[in-house]
Amino acid sequence: MSEPPIDLSRCETCRAQFVPTDGACPRCGSLDVHSYPSSALGTVLAATELTNPPTGWTPPHRLALVELPESVRVLAIVDGPLPAPGTLVSLRLDGAVFRAASEPTA
């Protein structure tokens, strides 16, 4: 089963694409912003493992910088083994946090 799409935003004034916000475009300030679905698959640009994370997080705590096909980048908590740069991962939104599965479900 594949992950549902990730909602991104596009500014109709300057054409910037970004993770949805409740406000104006972060590039030009326009309020003419609309959301659209994007593939939940992205490519890992960098990943790290925190062996001594902050209180409340269970070590090891894995993070990955993931680029979506539209060149939008998100920081995600990795569920599973730490992926290498260039690895395809599936993303899902868990509340306000992105999570990446190191083995895509799609």
Domain membership of residue 57 (yes or no) is yes
Give the model's pLDDT for residue 4.
86
Measuring CA to CA, which residue among 10, 30, 5, 29 is closest to residue 20? 10
| Two tokens, residue 69 | 């096909």
| Two tokens, residue 102 | 């190191």
Domain membership of residue 1 (yes or no) is no
Count the Cβ atoms, other than its own, within 10 Å of residue 79.
15
Q: pTM value?
A: 0.86
Q: Tell me which of 7 and 105 has the higher pLDDT.
A: 7
Q: How many separate domains does the chain show?
A: 1
Domain membership of residue 106 (yes or no) is no
Phi, psi for 58 (deg, rounded to 5): -85, 125
- Taking the C-alpha atoms of residue 43 and residue 85, their distance in angstroms, rounded to an integer, is 8
Give the model's pLDDT for residue 105.
52
Q: For the chain, what percent of residues have pLDDT higher than 70?
A: 94
Domain membership of residue 96 (yes or no) is yes
- pLDDT, tens digit (0-9, with 9 covering 90-100), for 33-53: 999 999 999 999 999 999 888
Measuring CA to CA, which residue among 80, 73, 74 is closest to residue 101? 80
Domain membership of residue 32 (yes or no) is yes
Domain membership of residue 39 (yes or no) is yes
Domain membership of residue 83 (yes or no) is yes
User: What CATH number does residue 74 fall under?
Assistant: 2.40.50.840
- pLDDT, tens digit (0-9, with 9 covering 90-100), for 52-90: 888 888 888 899 999 999 999 999 999 999 999 999 999
Q: Does the pLDDT of residue 103 top 70, yes or no?
A: no
Residue 32: give the domain boundaries. 6-101
Domain membership of residue 13 (yes or no) is yes
